Amino acid sequence: MISKSTSIWKALDWWTVLLYVLLVVCGWLSVCGASYEYGNPDFIDYSTRAGKQLLWITCSFGLAFVLLMLDDSFYRNFSYVFYIGMILLMIVTIFVAPDVKGSRSWLVFGPISLQPAEFGKFATALALARFMNSRTFSMKKLADVLILALIIILPIALIILQKETGSALVYFTFFLMLYREGMPGVVLFLAIASVLYFIVGIRFDEEYFANSTVSIGEFSVLVLSLFFTSCLAWVFRRKKSVSLFILLVSTFIIGVSYLISKYLIPFNFIYSVYLCCLIAITYLIIISIKSRKWGYSLIALFLVGSISFLYSIDYVFDNVLESHQRVRIEIVLGMDEDLSGAGYNVNQSKIAIGSGGLTGKGFLNGTQTKLKYVPEQDTDFIFCTVGEELGFVGSSLILLLYLLLILRLIVLAERQTSTFCRVYGYCVLSIFLFHLFINIGMVLGLTPVIGIPLPFLSYGGSSLWGFTILLFVFLRLDAGRAHRLHG
Amino acid sequence: MSKHQYQNRKFVIAGIAIGIVLVFIIQLFSLQVATDRYKKNADSNAFLKKTIYPSRGAIYDRNGELLVFNEPSYDVAIIPREIVDLDTLDLCSTLSITKEYFDERVAKMKDRRLNPGYSVFTPQLFMTQLTVEESAVFQEKLFKFPGFYIQRRDTRKYAHNSAAHALGDIGEVSKRDIANDDYYTRGDYIGRQGVERSYEKQLRGTKGLEVLLRDAHGRIQGKYKGGELDIKAAPGKDLTLSLDIELQMFGEKLMQGKLGSIVAIEPSTGEILCLVSSPSFDPSSMVGRKRGISHRDLQRDPTKPLFNRSIMATYPPASVFKVAQGAIFLQENIVDVNTTFPCYHGFVVPGLRVGCHTHPSPVAFKGAISTSCNSYFCWGLYKMIDNRKYKSPAEALTVWKDHMVTMGFGYALGVDLPGEKRGLIPNAQFYDKIYGEGKWNGLRIIHTAIGQGEILLTPIQIANLSATIANRGHYYVPHIVKSVKNDTISQLYRTPKQTSIDPHYYDYIVEGMRGAVIGSPYGSTARRANIPGIEVCGKTGTAQNRGRDHSVFMGFAPMKNAEIAISVYVEHGGFGATSAVPIAALMIEKYLNGTIAQERDYLVDEISKTNLIPYDLKKY
């Protein structure tokens, strides 16, 4: 027993532990700043939020210790048990949880409240790892893919039933892990492309080039599709000539018509972009028929799809989306400047961060956060406090800490010998990345307002413990790697 | 290891992570470093900058009697962003205003052309100058109107209803005032007229600032940095005027029903003892919300009560100007004190006659002043302008004009009141323009000799002439502020100005002026100014005018070490001796003796009841 525990301390990845401790400490300081009341600088008092967070942190250190002490085979063997137990807990939660601001996701045990969804991610990650670790598993088998989808969709459905849509979105981050494990890259590419089209198309739809009727949004999306088409030809068909042909012809036609429109005769040069698209599609289909390689047709199809996607966005935006959803998107894209209305949170958050300047106002000197201008400032909008009090330098440093943590986790995941450990590792880092992306994106006004916490920084025991468990189980698995190799 | 082929995908995932963080850092940079827009926003969010208004300086008369002081009034301010569920009707009834007035005020407040500093985050002035009672009613219901605030502001209160022109008034700053001086913000008060305007900087003090922290609900959370950034308000400085309010009120009483002016100066200092411009108005009518209506009414009055005749009206000085002429003739050796000129009921040369009244002829310098002989001064001017010792009449006139200017004519004296006029002393170019260059001589401009024609002086210039004579050749620039508390008055008012006339010539003038009062072998014009026990010296004038002549008097007393120099100008007052002389005499007696002797008491009543305002102006 002694030899085993010493070997764990030796094999443990202390770099990750260091990053974890740094982030948690930053988190506590931010909560101190965010919940600080004038004239009451007592951070240790349990009745204050800072005091409570200190208690959660102490508990999570204990939790981390316990997790490291357990045998690593324990996690593998009990994956499905965890998963099923969690699913059952979530079902129970739907029925017994009290209604908190419209969501039924909190289990209350006397003075302590828990959010099972925070632990659902951990259980799902374990179940996915266990399932994909089986010898017969293959991404190419439809049955396996369906079971994978089921494992992911089940908790999503339950969380949506708890009316916590934001937390449900986190599960889509497993696509990143699936991509690493062999999911076709096209799926990821299409997802990214459609998000880009959507944001660019809607954001600049109503803005025009100077002295012309050409919408910047429409023009940019079409040019972007042509560019992607050219890239696809290069990456998937390995044909530089096709790719270059599309790129050069388009650049020439669009460039010349833009110059003519600007300096000679103003005309709607969007037609020249249409012409380029038409040429590219025809060209790809001709090559496809000539060479009998259907890949070219698929690329042509992508271009056709992109164009139809663009023109359906407007329809979707105006006719399909509910008005409050539309409002939220408009705010994020900076289209609506109604400051006191729905954009209040994001606007106040930008004001708080922007007022921090280069070096910030100093610890506990922020005015916007102290005076409660930013809602949810110690939970979802905790990064505002960082931005205001530590400024550009401090917030960038914290972002870099996160980046280091994620890159370190990639390194750790890649050095795993078992699929179980690697898949689990990728699940963990994907979850961190997604939380980082959505949370900070929201605070900075780049992504829609979705209420999910920032790992290690946001106030709250459930989320801190959830992330601690995710991380330290992986560290335990990683530390057992050497043990397994030799034993 | 069949899955080895996907190992490179770790770079894609790492790339996505790096890309996301990079985009965030760029966005952070653009929010925090590239613009200070958010910083400003944050400040207006969190800081409530409360202006602390200083109390405006009080104004006293020369004997320390309080003339103008402050009375609290209340302004209603709004922070537009903080208004929730406003019950407009309740608000209007509480403030006893109409809904239309409310809408109008809000529209004005939001109009960025009228109110460039409009912001939903900062207090905006909504209504001004509520009385104590009105504000008490509003204060009681203030909790119902979040976003409304009451600010205490001082308004002016006047102890007497006189000296309106000298004291002036204050009013809300105009857009131009704000543009000229960034001390002011909309709704501030600024001196509009009188000393309130000319001593604005001393009277207003310095505004203070309190930086308060305000939370998201608009609640004040205390002082920012413990009040480190607060600025204390410095109260305005008190003014002591040189005005004698007793004399001022007495003068205003005498000038009732007349158009004109009385200016009295202490010759040894240049301090203005009284500055009466008639008709006048009650300064209290220019305070508070009724200011607009009163001002409009006064502006429409054809007798022009707002017009400060004592420094703004330019009149022909008539015969009082002869003493200035005489001084120049002596200085230029055109005459000596014994030179006589004939007077055949006037100045008679072929083709020209300036009439004169009956008196012994020929007459020498002192007698000419005492009896106000037109002929003597016409001869004098004629001999000077056409004198061979000058190259041309133009050069002679230039010499003459330069002397005049040193006596304080032709330019504004520099009185510490706004709007002083300069009058007119013609120069050679002026006559060249009228008659053609070289085509005029002494005879052409002979009316100038007796203060008619083109000559124009303000009443204060006439009073200053009197003070200069009393001082035998020097004067202090007349000023109405005797002292500023903890401050000094301008050097301009403390240094004497010497005229270009030798002091000893003034003795002849003084004797002549004394003769005009007590009588001389050649006659006298101002006998009614003779007060037993006081050596009054004086000179009358009768300015020819369409309609009834203007009555003018200038004088000082006592003859040596004069304590008061005075000018009285009564429009349409007839002969100088008729209206102006008795008024001046009473003023001098009042100032030097403190009271009017019983045997002349009837005069006060009689004069104050005399109405000399022409019928066509009166009918208003």
Looking at the complex, does the CB of residue A350 fall below 8 Å from at least one CB of chain B? yes
Read off the pLDDT of each residue in A73-81 and give the average, rounded to a whole number.
90
DSSP B304: -
CATH code 3.40.710.10 region(s) in chain B: 245-280+303-618
- Closest alpha carbon within chain A to B11: A410
Q: Which CATH number fits domain B50-241: 1.10.3210.10, 3.20.80.10, 3.90.1310.10, 3.40.605.10?
A: 3.90.1310.10
What per-residue confidence (pLDDT) applies to A269?
81
CA distance B16 to chain A (A): 9
Q: Which of A320, A348, A367 is the last residue of a domain?
A: A320
What per-residue confidence (pLDDT) applies to B2?
45
With respect to residue A267, please indicate whether it lies within any of the assigned structural domains: yes
What per-residue confidence (pLDDT) applies to A272?
87
Query: Which band of pLDDT confidence, cut at 50, 70 and 90, is reported for residue B580?
Result: very high
B190: its two tokens: 């600024």
B193: its two tokens: 């007229």
Q: What angle do CA B9, B10, B12 make, to 5 degrees?
A: 65
Size of interface A-B (CB pairs under 8 A): 130
With respect to residue A144, please indicate whether it lies within any of the assigned structural domains: yes
A355/B216 CB distance under 8 A:
no
Q: Which of A403, A417, A423 to mutate to test the interface with B (most CBs of B within 10 A)?
A: A403
Query: Do A134 and A210 belong together in one domain?
Result: no
* A102-106, A278-282, B286-290, range with the lowest pLDDT: A102-106
Query: Do A315 and A194 belong together in one domain?
Result: yes
- The pLDDT of residue B166 is above 60: yes
Read off the pLDDT of each residue in B343-356 and give the average, rounded to a whole number.
88
* A277-286, B2-11, B414-423, B504-513, range with the lowest pLDDT: B2-11
CA distance A182 to chain B (A): 6
B32/A441 CB distance under 8 A:
no
How many angstroms separate the CA atoms of B132 and A128, rounded?
A: 77
Residue A440 with chain B: CB contacts under 8 Å: 24
For A433, which of B12, B17, B39 is closest by C-beta distance?
B17
- Closest alpha carbon within chain B to A388: B32
Query: Which band of pLDDT confidence, cut at 50, 70 and 90, is reported for residue A136?
Result: confident
What per-residue confidence (pLDDT) applies to B619?
47
DSSP letters, B157-218, are: EESSS--HHHH--EEEPPHHHHHH-TT--TT-EEE-SHHHHHTHHHHH-B-EEEEEEE-TTS
A441/B24 CB distance under 8 A:
yes
- The pLDDT of residue A2 is above 60: no
- Closest alpha carbon within chain A to B13: A176
How many angstroms separate the CA atoms of A106 and A476, rounded?
A: 29
Per-residue pLDDT tens over the stretch B186-217: 778 899 899 999 999 999 988 888 877 766 66
For A410, which of B10, B81, B222 is closest by C-beta distance?
B10
Read off the pLDDT of each residue in B339-349 and give the average, rounded to a whole number.
90
**Total-model pTM:** 0.62
Residue B16 with chain A: CB contacts under 8 Å: 176, 433
* A61-70, B145-154, B404-413, B500-509, range with the lowest pLDDT: B145-154
A368/B21 CB distance under 8 A:
no
Looking at the complex, does the CB of residue A399 fall below 8 Å from at least one CB of chain B? yes
B426: its two tokens: 């013609």
Per-residue pLDDT tens over the stretch A184-212: 888 888 887 887 787 677 666 666 776 67
With respect to residue A218, please indicate whether it lies within any of the assigned structural domains: yes
**Domain residues for A46?**
1-69+400-420+473-487
For A392, which of B23, B29, B35 is closest by C-beta distance?
B29
What per-residue confidence (pLDDT) applies to A117?
81
The amino acid at residue A428 is V
Q: Which of A286, A320, A354 is the last residue of a domain?
A: A320
Please report, for chain B, how many H helices and E strands are present, in that order: 22, 20
CA distances from A115 to A162, A172, A381 (A): 11, 19, 19
Higher pLDDT, A17 or B132: A17
CA distance A371 to chain B (A): 4
Query: Do A151 and A193 belong together in one domain?
Result: no
Query: Which band of pLDDT confidence, cut at 50, 70 and 90, is reported for residue A337?
Result: very low
| Pair type for strands B170-172 and B189-191 | antiparallel
With respect to residue A342, please indicate whether it lies within any of the assigned structural domains: no
Query: Do A134 and A213 belong together in one domain?
Result: no
What per-residue confidence (pLDDT) applies to B311?
95
Q: Which of A153, A183, A213 is the last residue of a domain?
A: A183
What per-residue confidence (pLDDT) applies to B9?
87
Residue A419 with chain B: CB contacts under 8 Å: 3
With respect to residue A431, please indicate whether it lies within any of the assigned structural domains: no
Q: Identify the CA nearest to B449 among candidates B350, B335, B302.
A: B335
What per-residue confidence (pLDDT) applies to A37?
61
What per-residue confidence (pLDDT) applies to B218?
61
Only one residue has tokens 């030097």, namely B592
Read off the pLDDT of each residue in B154-171 and give the average, rounded to a whole number.
90
Max intra-chain CA distance, chain B: 144
Long-range contact set of residues A145-151: C-beta below 8 Å, sequence gap at least 24: A148/A178, A151/A83, A151/A124, A151/A127
Query: Do A208 and A229 belong together in one domain?
Result: yes
For A444, which of B17, B28, B47 is closest by C-beta distance?
B28
Q: Are residues A261 and A269 in contact, defined by beta-carbon separation less than 8 angstroms?
A: yes
Read off the pLDDT of each residue in A397-402 and give the average, rounded to a whole number.
95
Only one residue has tokens 């302590």, namely A112
Query: Do A57 and A93 belong together in one domain?
Result: no
CA distances from A351 to A305, A339, B279 (A): 39, 11, 61
CA distance A253 to chain B (A): 31
- Closest alpha carbon within chain B to A192: B16
- The pLDDT of residue B407 is above 90: yes
Q: Which of B21, B33, B47 to mutate to test the interface with A (most CBs of A within 10 A)?
A: B21
Query: Do A60 and A83 belong together in one domain?
Result: no
With respect to residue A457, please indicate whether it lies within any of the assigned structural domains: no
A373/B222 CB distance under 8 A:
no
Q: Identify the CA nearest to B260 among candidates B538, B613, B554.
A: B613
With respect to residue A348, please indicate whether it lies within any of the assigned structural domains: no
In B233-372, alpha helices (H): 245-254, 291-300, 309-312, 322-331, 365-371
- The pLDDT of residue A338 is above 70: no
Q: What percent of chain B has pLDDT over 90?
A: 52
How many angstroms separate the CA atoms of A132 and A177, rounded?
A: 11
Does domain B245-280+303-618 correspond to CATH entry 3.40.710.10?
yes
Q: Are residues B529 and B581 in contact, defined by beta-carbon separation less than 8 angstroms?
A: yes
Read off the pLDDT of each residue in A337-357 and give the average, rounded to a whole number.
69
Per-residue pLDDT tens over the stretch A42-54: 566 666 788 888 8
Per-residue pLDDT tens over the stretch B586-600: 999 999 999 999 988
Looking at the complex, does the CB of residue A195 fall below 8 Å from at least one CB of chain B? no
Strand locations in A324-366 (E): none
- The pLDDT of residue A487 is above 50: no
In B33-174, alpha helices (H): 37-46, 88-94, 99-110, 132-140, 164-167
For B20, which of A348, A437, A445 is closest by C-beta distance?
A437
How many residues are present in chain A? 487
Per-residue pLDDT tens over the stretch B355-403: 888 888 889 999 999 999 999 999 999 999 988 899 999 999 999 999 9
Query: Do A200 and A140 belong together in one domain?
Result: no
- The pLDDT of residue A238 is above 80: no
Q: How many domains does chain A have?
A: 3
- The pLDDT of residue B618 is above 70: no
Phi-psi label, residue B485: left if phi above 0, alpha if psi -120 to 50, beta otherwise? beta
Q: Are residues B251 and B237 in contact, defined by beta-carbon separation less than 8 angstroms?
A: no
Query: Which band of pLDDT confidence, cut at 50, 70 and 90, is reported for residue B322?
Result: very high
What per-residue confidence (pLDDT) applies to A39?
53
B3/A419 CB distance under 8 A:
yes
Query: Do A172 and A192 belong together in one domain?
Result: no
Query: Which band of pLDDT confidence, cut at 50, 70 and 90, is reported for residue B585?
Result: very high
ipTM above 0.90, yes or no: no
For A406, which of B9, B17, B31 is closest by C-beta distance?
B17
Query: Which band of pLDDT confidence, cut at 50, 70 and 90, is reported for residue B267?
Result: very high
What per-residue confidence (pLDDT) applies to B413?
94
Query: Do A167 and A195 belong together in one domain?
Result: no
CATH code 3.90.1310.10 region(s) in chain B: 50-241
**What does the mean pLDDT of chain B come to?**
88
Query: Do A64 and A112 belong together in one domain?
Result: no
- Closest alpha carbon within chain A to B18: A403
B41/A355 CB distance under 8 A:
yes
Higher pLDDT, A340 or B608: B608
Query: Do A191 and A280 belong together in one domain?
Result: yes
With respect to residue A409, please indicate whether it lies within any of the assigned structural domains: yes
Query: Which band of pLDDT confidence, cut at 50, 70 and 90, is reported for residue A127?
Result: very high
A351/B215 CB distance under 8 A:
no
* A375-389, B245-259, B412-426, B442-456, range with the lowest pLDDT: A375-389
How many angstroms separate the CA atoms of B292 and B158, rounded?
A: 18
Report chain B residues touching chain A, CB-CB < 8 A: 3, 6-7, 9-10, 12-14, 16-18, 20-21, 23-25, 27-29, 31-33, 35-39, 41-43, 45-47, 81, 213-217, 221-222, 224
Read off the pLDDT of each residue in B159-182 and give the average, rounded to a whole number.
88
